[in-house]
Amino acid sequence: MTIGVLFVCTANTCRSPMAEGVFRTLARRAGLEQAFAIASAGTRANAGEAPTPAAVAAAARRGYDIVSQRSRTLTREDIAAADYVLAMDRSHLAALRVLAPCAKVGGLQMLTKFGPTPGILDVQDPYGGTQQDYERALDLIEAACKGLLVALAEEAKASIVS
């Protein structure tokens, strides 16, 4: 059985696609990709849009390929199907709580919960900002995705065996 991981931001064109790409790559490098169903979505996405060029460039510089991803709007079914639903900022967490089935509300989490920097809750939206803004967002995303993989590694290994 696969472990569903869903990353959520606003438009699904920068933060959540970067998180999806980072986590997918880290899982693949760890030999655990088959244990996961990894996706991303946006609370207000324009379905079918490509990630922003700045997000693609920032991700590519670190070895993450997000070129083929396309934005999609978050649905209640997405939340219900995922084991781990991870918000990029508190506004996304609030939107998730409204949309989530009652049984899932308690399991909704901030991605930064898995990062090494206490006190940082939000991955700031780099959209419309500088390349440095994208790099800062990717720093937080990358650190949190590494922590997430560590947190889920045993569960992932067990799902591959069974």
**Whether residue 133 lies in the annotated active site:** no
**Whether residue 9 lies in the annotated active site:** yes
Domain that holds residue 52: 3-161
pLDDT in tens, 49-60: 999 999 999 999
Among 14, 15, 24, 89, the active-site one is 15
**Whether residue 122 lies in the annotated active site:** no
Among 62, 83, 97, 125, the active-site one is 125
So what's the pLDDT on residue 77?
Answer: 96
So what's the pLDDT on residue 162?
Answer: 65
CATH assignment at residue 96: 3.40.50.2300
Q: Ramachandran region of residue 12, left (φ > 0), alpha (ψ -120 to 50) or beta?
A: left
CA distance 115 to 63: 20
The parts of the chain modelled with pLDDT lower than 70 are 162
pTM score of the predicted model: 0.97
Query: Number of folded domains in the chain?
Result: 1
So what's the pLDDT on residue 83?
Answer: 96
Tokens of 144: 């949190």
